[in-house]
Amino acid sequence: MTEDRTEKTTHERWTGKLDAYIDGELDSSQMQELDRHLRECSGCTAEALRRLQWKRVIHSAGQCYEPDPAVRERIRRSISPAKPAWWQWRPAFAVTAALLLVLAGARIIQLETVQPKRHLAQESWMAGELADLHVATLASANPVDVVSSDRHSVKPWFAGKIPFSFNLPELQGSQFELVGGRVSYLEQSPGAQLLFRVRKHQISVFIFQAKALPLGLASAGEMDARSFHLERWQRDGLQYFAISDAAPEDLHALSDLLGK
């Protein structure tokens, strides 16, 4: 009985942190602990997947509806003060001209400061989205739609499902095993998600058209993706992402096989 209560308490402890885990708000040590718990607890894994799906549904719903332009115009008119006669603006013209000179210089400084921060926020968001997709795949009862270790079976399956083709390496003699693949979406663009296994670890490799992703995204390098390691690179107009809790050396080796 005592053992059952202890197990229940541990389970409730991690369940209470699932939302923070999905939003990437836990520190790295808690992320790693919860990752291990999810691999061992099917109940928490299913609950994490359910909350992740709700998060995506709510996010998508929020982008589906926009107010009618006529409604926005009526609101704008209702809160905007009546415009004064043109001569009432003359005292402000001289001040405005001076301010424009100051603001022009300030704008240049602001762009130099804000653009790097915006770029980092964009990268952080994308890393979070890829981590969500990877976690959802691991938590799913059917992680791939085409199950095969044969590249000659997996690659043709994507024909007609994504707007590009890609090559898969020969893995015979390597430490990696191809589990299968599925279609995934990033920025509403379809791409290929390939699932590989190395020892007891799963590696998701995402492939998208580079032109379909935000401009300014660095084509190569490592990204912070919660407790996962994430590598990215571009080749032949395609953007590759490899994400896993496997060792960075394993990601390097697999990315080399994929033609990094």
Residues 147 and 223 reside in one and the same domain:
yes
Is pTM beyond 0.75? Reply is: no
Token look-up 């001209």 returns 97
Residues 99 and 69 reside in one and the same domain:
no
For residue 161, pLDDT over 80 is answered with: yes
For residue 64, pLDDT over 60 is answered with: no
Question: H-type helices in the chain, by residue range?
Answer: 2-15, 18-22, 28-40, 42-62, 69-79, 90-139, 151-157, 248-257
- Separation between Cα atoms, residue 166 and residue 207, nearest integer Å: 8
252 burial (CB, 10 Å; 0-12 / 13-18 / 19+) is middle
For residue 131, pLDDT over 80 is answered with: yes
- Determine the pLDDT at residue 160: 93
User: Which of the residue ranges 19-23, 98-102, 236-240 would you say has the lowest mean pLDDT?
Assistant: 98-102
Residues 160 and 189 reside in one and the same domain:
yes
Residues 38 and 120 reside in one and the same domain:
no
Residues 27 and 100 reside in one and the same domain:
no
- Determine the pLDDT at residue 89: 46
Q: What is the mean pLDDT of the chain?
A: 76
Residues 65 and 188 reside in one and the same domain:
no
Say which residue, 62 or 166, is predicted with more confidence. 166
- What is the total count of domains within the chain? 2
Residues 185 and 260 reside in one and the same domain:
yes
For residue 60, pLDDT over 60 is answered with: no
pLDDT band at 93 (very low <50, low <70, confident <90, very high): very low
Residues 138 and 50 reside in one and the same domain:
no
| Strand order, beta sheet including 228-235 | 146-147, 177-186, 189-198, 201-209, 238-244, 228-235, 221-225
How many CA atoms within 13 Å lie on the side-chain side of 243? 25
Does residue 88 belong to any structural domain of this protein? no
Residues 33 and 125 reside in one and the same domain:
no
- Determine the pLDDT at residue 154: 95
For the chain, give the percent of residues with pLDDT over 70.
Answer: 64
Does residue 78 belong to any structural domain of this protein? yes
**Do the bridges between strand 221-225 and strand 238-244 make them parallel or antiparallel, or are there none, so unpaired?**
unpaired
Q: What CATH code is carried by the domain that includes residue 150?
A: 3.30.200.100
For the chain, give the percent of residues with pLDDT over 90.
Answer: 35
Q: What CATH code is carried by the domain that includes residue 50?
A: 1.10.10
For residue 256, pLDDT over 50 is answered with: yes
Token look-up 């660095």 returns 218
- Determine the pLDDT at residue 96: 52
Cα dihedral 150→237→260→171 (10° resolution): 10
Residues 109 and 207 reside in one and the same domain:
yes
Domain end call among 23, 54, 82: 82
Domain end call among 82, 110, 126: 82
Q: Mean pLDDT, to the nearest integer, of 167-171?
A: 92
The domain in which residue 219 lies consists of 93-260
24-47 pLDDT tens trace: 777 777 777 777 777 777 777 777
